[in-house]
Copies of this chain bind each other. A is one copy, B any other.
Amino acid sequence: MESLKQRILQEGKIISPEVLKVDGFINHQLDPQLLMAIGVEFARRFAYSHVNKILTIEASGIAPAVMTGYCMGIPVIFAKKEKPSTMDNPYVAEVHSFTKEKDYTIVTGREYLKPGDKVLCIDDFLAYGSAAMALSSLIEQAGAHLAGMGFVIEKAFQQGGELLRAKGIHVESLARIESLEGGVVTFCE
């Protein structure tokens, strides 16, 4: 997605050869017009997947997911990082964040993911795939079907994309980064 790549080149900050900060339009400040364009693009790429629900993780996944849900006309569930006191017996999965060097739990209420649901997962970043595997686990626990996964930015030099594609999952990433070496963003061809 060319407009996204241009924005990353203009405003992305390379913190280390592993970490790209996009706080100016995705992770802290949001550009709603860009996010709508992202939603349109995901809707186009998954148009033939016949999904009826989108699943994401709070907080940075919510904006791209809700725009995609708007474009596809389907509801969005965001998995929570903390179990609310009013949520009984949720589906639970573990995530390891390599950036934050810690583990956390994500939960989803049973009433919103059902057997028969065809689910599209949307998230901001694909790195090692830990969050994606946790979303996939929530879907499996519900007896629902994972129809595809869409990521705004894929760090293709980490293993997540390979892992998910090797499992036969339909993965679409709007900007695939080959390397952040030398303080330069290099996109995959």
Contact = CB atoms under 8 A, between A and B. Distances in A.
Q: How many monomers of this protein are in the complex? A: 2
A29 interface: yes
Contacts of A87: 23, 28
A62 interface: yes
A82 B153 CA distance: 22
Given A15-B86, A86-B19, A69 B30 contact: yes
A157 interface: no
Scoring A21, A24, A78 by chain B CB atoms within 10 A of each residue's CB, the highest score goes to: A78
Nearest to A70: B32
A19 B85 CA distance: 12
A183 to B, nearest CB: 15
Given A32-B69, A78-B30, A85 B63 contact: no
Contacts of A74: 32
A106 B59 CA distance: 14
Given A19-B86, A30-B65, 13 more contacts: A15-B86, A24-B111, A25-B75, A28-B77, A28-B87, A29-B76, A30-B76, A32-B67, A58-B58, A58-B59, A59-B78, A62-B63, A63-B76
